[in-house]
Amino acid sequence: MASNVEQSLAAVIGAMQHLNQQFEDKIEELRQKGKDEGELQVLVKGAMAMKDASGIYLSWANHYISRLVKAEGMEPEDEESIIVEE
């Protein structure tokens, strides 16, 4: 696979993981400060939506990278997905 594409996707994965963790950390910080749990639940839902959206985005990116690999003449099964499922 083109290393630039692979590196770019790895950077996006890292950035999205970092962003999602920052949302979770901030919510926990606000919870520790005694903020209203009802208001925090709105933030929790937003953080969950961000995590889901990033998962969808990364799945599509992985799909198109597989197509790129195939277009380069390699068999997709010769390359592993860069997305690590948890």
Task: Please write the tens of the pLDDT for every residue from 13-72.
Answer: 999 999 999 999 999 999 999 999 999 999 999 999 999 999 998 888 888 887 887 777
Q: What is the pTM of this model?
A: 0.69
Closest-CA residue to 3 (of 85, 84, 82, 83): 82
- Side chain identity, residue 24: E
